[in-house]
Structure 1
């Protein structure tokens, strides 16, 4: 079997590594220039800290325009934070007032989403690093100015680099989305392996799909915001990326529509080789799309591909063997299901072949008409910034308010514990050192604490493990060599990898970030290893305080589950409605409907609008399902006493996935039928009523003649899923209603 692309190779060609390298250069360059040219390492380090604030905001992925606005906002807000903290640093009482207030004010910026949280954290980092060295009043203005200039330098550096290398950045974002698609395909291939556990496969598939949805949205924001304009030097590049993106979405739609009753297949065909052939074909296709992703990231043509012709021919042979045995007569639905699997594997192979051909650099026209205008805006993520979003969350029932309050309380506890340690330490030298580096406890608290309990506990373990390993590596390095050149080289590499891995593997990122900080301290204060032990102790204290304070006014994930489940159901309901409308218009346009024909131009416009609505509904299904799945698995990381309705929510998760998959499978078939038979129509009406929370009984049997056999299975699965969704949703509502009555 073909080998998968190594994770290390994927990482070094990803926008994560490119972003980490960009951040490292932009942050370290001011310190290197000011220190090397003017011997002003103090100014250089201050400017580097200002650049670091903006670099934290400059994360890979997402629209470039949004990042530009966010970085400018970070410069302004960060400069204000430095000025306020610097003015308060000499007054112990004032610092005790200002620091918690800043922690609260900057933490509540999470109301503006992930990007708002990044801006708040970046400013909190500047606050923490500013407060550790008290500033004289006459120094505050200069310190603030140097920090702001460092941020401005990084902004200009990043903006210019992104403008020059825009195509490279978009390639890498698309490559990450393709790799996520390859992982999703590999996860689906395991369902055909009878030796694997179905429940474990489902859990892995749902996690993989949620991650893939995020990657696809990031690529969508990149590609669809930079569409071909019909002129300009970069248009053929944009067309290539657009065509590959469209093929990727078509491939995903094709795969999502292949949801199968794997338990039934394993029961009916336990010893059949067709299961192995399907597994191998899908796995090899995932390898092929991985190669496409890698070559797009490397800006190279795809030359080597894994062929699935042998597997497809073997499946055809097995189907012919089943037909001769009468499977198409005795169990027409199972036979039709296997035929559909074969067709979709063929279509997937064709989509991947088209992607590979797009890398040949000969494409000048878009392969589809996507109406390249403002009508594409609904497919893009939008950034809503209203002052009312902030003021409306100043209430105890708001999770963002509770999170900001927890952070402020945890920071007060950290400052108080540091003060107590400073009072009771008997050795003066140790007292000074602890006081000089106590900000590390506060920094650890700010890094570890997240709005959700599960994320805080998870980040706690990652941070603690990474810091301890990083301290151990630094201790070994300091005892192996005293060469400053080696130290600086390790410092640069550590910062690049620490920044690159923060979204991929936080533990490894924490290892490199700890190593970077310890080496930076060694350059500022050489000749002592005590700081290594202090970093480890401070991290343990900070992690402990963060975990304890996470129990203060917690906002458990169970509070989100009901709205997210309803949103997933509503998205599927809209998806079905849009699909049925599109299928009806398609039948009418083909002259196969019962309605009188409208003018051709009007029919084309209506069909195009319906197709657009269907694609938008499908995208919304993926997003709402991803949000539901992510929240559910976060809840599973919380204490058992706060995990509510786990079996019901897990079943809802699976049934929503089944429903979306079967809608994707049924709509294209419905669009090609001459007439919708009565039994099929009654089944569709029953499904719609069930999703509207109305009583309905799906017909026991429907038409299965000819092509209708391929429609019978997805419709029955849709009806079963709709019934279970209604049952579980009503069960959840009844459980919630019981406490209100008692």
Structure 2
């Protein structure tokens, strides 16, 4: 399945993205610190200072200022201790081996703190690898560590100063990325109206992209909602809040696409709906583009032709219904979809307005505690110690890395004696191992491919430069470009980063120590050796994704239960403030994103390690649909608020709440016995069964039919969750037990 082009890889938006700005900040800081050191000292001192700045720069990511300072300071202190310890141990082989094993293990254990600790792990392993080649006296080791620390502190001060000056700009860039991902999400929704695309395929793409969208929205929350103190901050807060409201409205557009396609296959209505969604996506991109350029956005797209076409088609269907044709269901679905799309168009307009107006304050849930919406990062030793057990995937990963490093050192030490013409470089082999070997098999597989491809291309480019363009000005220019590209593409396309790193290191080695094309060939061979070792150890003590599936599904079901409780309290008017509802919706979306990511990783694993792929996918989709149904119910009740028969509607919602929560509870408590739900929800599938539909009753309220239909869909999808959970339980847990 082809992946859409990331917004930051487009030439239109690349130079405005925070990825490119990070590369500029990284390059300017690193090169500036090295040049400043060269002005007062020699090349050896400058390289020691520069490597300290480089390790600290690996932690330079978009983050709240206080978090950034703590993370980068931790990197300076930890890496300084590592370089000192390894330098002192380097002259003594067995002592060095013990240090490498312990450092590899504990650095890998840091992964327990989440993805924000990954750069710190890489920085620790990187400086460990770079330091193992230095055979220094204790005094020289202290001096080297001091220079390393000086470089780290210098970059820390530089990065904090730049981040403080550009703190609002970084918020704009991260917010813009979330807007672009929301636009990509709508593009996927648009293809539901195109009969050329399978509905199941589109749901798969939608749920996959949901994980990415949730991650980008969380990054936006973490930066924007922690501190918003001035008029400029108020603008990004208002855009962010409007974006989240728009997202919920988009969720509410879920409908019976099969029914639409069946009855309207030859109608212009489907094309109009598709074009409206496509235009909305481009409109949201326009807001995101304006935000990246620090400008207000003004709506330039007209939706009038498509809306007029929809109105005309609704009128045609109404006449067919009046003539007795059986298209009443299609008419109801199309009319509801038209109303939802109109609401979305209106909210996109509000998104433009939010970017234009300078607010005096930040009207975002005043006096509310934002902590439930923010990432909570706790670096407590007890968290790491709790994973010191053999069934912990992180513990097994740490053992795997330590063993692979020992193997890499052994190979690097023994090869020169076996092949005298070959000069192995143990540090390069180990560096390749620690870069490639990731916590999951799928991540290791992808990193191996990117590392090998990037290194080959980088070596070829470096060889061409040294053979045909070996001039200091050319080499320095390429070095600057490679230094900027290294952090720019580390998230976007790691393969590009691998190319840039290979060019940068090889050219630096040529400048510092001289060398030849033979040096490049040796590094290429070392890379293949390291990749082979990493591949071999990716199967050692491996933790396969299917082993975590039951726990992840339980987390989804528990989050969905909490979400349903908050949702129905809001729908029934028991809770007027939608803050708790938003908190629980975020929790459910995060749980679904985690499960979806695990499924995607499992698809990259060997076929023998895949379990219940189709049922897991359907389980994710069904839980996602429950969110869409609730969002639709909120939209319906808002649209038909006039003359609402509150008692009857609330009774219907209460019955549905019992049914849905009963189904989710049954799936959570007894996943292997789908029949257990029958006693919980039996006899309540028809929400209208216990309510009057006579004159003056609920049926006379315009929203009754659509609410009733949506509740029926909600209950049916909740029951499907039990079926898929039972199938997964059978294919994962029982199959593993039998094995």
CA displacement at 1:682 relative to structure 2: 3.7
1:573-627 C-alpha deviation (Å, 9 max, x unpaired): 22221111112226xxxxxxxxxxxxxxxxxxx522xx11111111112111111
Q: Does 1:31 align with 2:34?
A: yes
Relative to the length of structure 2, the TM-score reads 0.91
What CA distance in whole angstroms lies between the structure 2 residues aligned with 1:668 and 1:276?
A: 24
Q: Does 1:21 align with 2:34?
A: no
1:346 corresponds, among 342, 352, 360, to 342
SS of structure 1 residue aligned to 2:13:
helix
SS of structure 2 residue aligned to 1:325:
helix
Cα contact 2:317–2:327 (8 A) shared by 1: no
What is the match of residue 376 of structure 1? 370
What CA distance in whole angstroms lies between the structure 2 residues aligned with 1:407 and 1:500?
A: 27
What is the match of residue 576 of structure 2? 607
Q: Does 1:105 align with 2:106?
A: yes
SS of structure 2 residue aligned to 1:607:
coil
CA displacement at 1:522 relative to structure 2: 1.6
Q: Does 1:421 align with 2:415?
A: yes
What is the match of residue 256 of structure 1? 251
What is the match of residue 296 of structure 1? 291
Cα contact 1:333–1:713 (8 A) shared by 2: no
CA displacement at 1:741 relative to structure 2: 8.5
Q: Does 1:511 align with 2:499?
A: yes
Q: Does 1:409 align with 2:403?
A: yes
What CA distance in whole angstroms lies between the structure 2 residues aligned with 1:520 and 1:343?
A: 62
What CA distance in whole angstroms lies between the structure 2 residues aligned with 1:111 and 1:14?
A: 29
Cα contact 1:20–1:497 (8 A) shared by 2: yes
SS of structure 2 residue aligned to 1:326:
helix
What is the match of residue 83 of structure 1? 84
CA displacement at 1:670 relative to structure 2: 4.7
2:490 corresponds, among 490, 502, 526, to 502
What is the match of residue 465 of structure 1? 453
1:73-95 C-alpha deviation (Å, 9 max, x unpaired): 11111111011000011112211
CA displacement at 1:192 relative to structure 2: 1.0
CA displacement at 1:301 relative to structure 2: 2.6
What CA distance in whole angstroms lies between the structure 2 residues aligned with 1:342 and 1:4?
A: 30
1:674 corresponds, among 642, 645, 659, to 645
Cα contact 1:240–1:358 (8 A) shared by 2: yes
SS of structure 2 residue aligned to 1:396:
coil
1:535 corresponds, among 516, 523, 526, to 523
CA displacement at 1:365 relative to structure 2: 4.5
Q: Does 1:400 align with 2:394?
A: yes
Q: Does 1:570 align with 2:558?
A: yes
What CA distance in whole angstroms lies between the structure 1 residues aligned with 2:726 and 2:83?
A: 53
Structure 1: gaps spanning 5 or more residues: 229-234, 587-605
SS of structure 1 residue aligned to 2:540:
coil
What is the match of residue 649 of structure 1? 616
What CA distance in whole angstroms lies between the structure 1 residues aligned with 2:261 and 2:400?
A: 50
- When structure 1 is superposed on structure 2, of 397-406 and 560-569 the one drifting more is 560-569
SS of structure 1 residue aligned to 2:356:
coil
CA displacement at 1:483 relative to structure 2: 1.7
Cα contact 1:63–1:222 (8 A) shared by 2: yes
Residues 126/741 of structure 1: CA separation in 2 closer, same or farther (3 Å cut): closer
Q: Does 1:8 align with 2:11?
A: yes
Q: Does 1:621 align with 2:588?
A: yes
- When structure 1 is superposed on structure 2, of 127-136 and 696-705 the one drifting more is 696-705
CA displacement at 1:303 relative to structure 2: 4.1
Cα contact 1:4–1:290 (8 A) shared by 2: no
Cα contact 1:210–1:627 (8 A) shared by 2: yes
Q: Does 1:727 align with 2:723?
A: yes
What CA distance in whole angstroms lies between the structure 1 residues aligned with 2:13 and 2:605?
A: 32
SS of structure 2 residue aligned to 1:72:
helix
Cα contact 1:333–1:712 (8 A) shared by 2: no
CA displacement at 1:332 relative to structure 2: 4.5
SS of structure 2 residue aligned to 1:8:
coil
1:46-97 C-alpha deviation (Å, 9 max, x unpaired): 111111111111223x333222111111111111101100001111221122
SS of structure 2 residue aligned to 1:9:
coil
What is the match of residue 475 of structure 2? 487
Alpha carbon RMSD of aligned pairs, Å? Answer: 2.2
CA displacement at 1:194 relative to structure 2: 0.9
> Map of 1:108-507 to 2, 5 A cutoff?
108-228=109-229, 235-303=230-298, 305-326=300-321, 330-366=326-362, 368-373=363-368, 375-427=369-421, 430-431=422-423, 434=424, 437-507=425-495
CA displacement at 1:38 relative to structure 2: 2.5
What CA distance in whole angstroms lies between the structure 1 residues aligned with 2:157 and 2:687?
A: 66
CA displacement at 1:270 relative to structure 2: 1.4
What CA distance in whole angstroms lies between the structure 1 residues aligned with 2:221 and 2:411?
A: 47
Residues 527/688 of structure 1: CA separation in 2 closer, same or farther (3 Å cut): closer
What CA distance in whole angstroms lies between the structure 1 residues aligned with 2:715 and 2:210?
A: 23
Q: Does 1:634 align with 2:601?
A: yes
Cα contact 1:27–1:51 (8 A) shared by 2: yes
CA displacement at 1:701 relative to structure 2: 6.8
Residues 80/39 of structure 1: CA separation in 2 closer, same or farther (3 Å cut): closer
SS of structure 1 residue aligned to 2:55:
helix
SS of structure 1 residue aligned to 2:225:
helix
What CA distance in whole angstroms lies between the structure 1 residues aligned with 2:433 and 2:379?
A: 27
What CA distance in whole angstroms lies between the structure 2 residues aligned with 1:584 and 1:200?
A: 35
What is the match of residue 232 of structure 1? none
Residues 304/514 of structure 1: CA separation in 2 closer, same or farther (3 Å cut): farther
Cα contact 2:612–2:727 (8 A) shared by 1: no
Off by >4 Å, runs of 4+ in structure 1:
3-6, 327-333, 677-681, 737-742
What is the match of residue 696 of structure 2? none
SS of structure 2 residue aligned to 1:359:
helix
What CA distance in whole angstroms lies between the structure 2 residues aligned with 1:700 and 1:334?
A: 20
Residues 583/304 of structure 1: CA separation in 2 closer, same or farther (3 Å cut): closer
Cα contact 2:236–2:355 (8 A) shared by 1: no
1:486-537 C-alpha deviation (Å, 9 max, x unpaired): 1111111112112111011111221112111111112113351112212211
Aligned residue pairs total: 703
Cα contact 1:652–1:725 (8 A) shared by 2: yes
> Map of 1:32-71 to 2, 5 A cutoff?
32-35=35-38, 37-60=39-62, 62-71=63-72
What is the match of residue 598 of structure 1? none
Residues 713/11 of structure 1: CA separation in 2 closer, same or farther (3 Å cut): farther
Cα contact 1:182–1:287 (8 A) shared by 2: yes
What CA distance in whole angstroms lies between the structure 2 residues aligned with 1:453 and 1:559?
A: 13
What is the match of residue 510 of structure 2? 522
1:384-437 C-alpha deviation (Å, 9 max, x unpaired): 22221111211211111101100011111111111111211233xx43xx2xx3
Cα contact 1:580–1:667 (8 A) shared by 2: no
What CA distance in whole angstroms lies between the structure 1 residues aligned with 2:44 and 2:512?
A: 9
Residues 160/168 of structure 1: CA separation in 2 closer, same or farther (3 Å cut): same
Cα contact 1:558–1:644 (8 A) shared by 2: yes
1:554-586 C-alpha deviation (Å, 9 max, x unpaired): 011111211212222222222221111112226
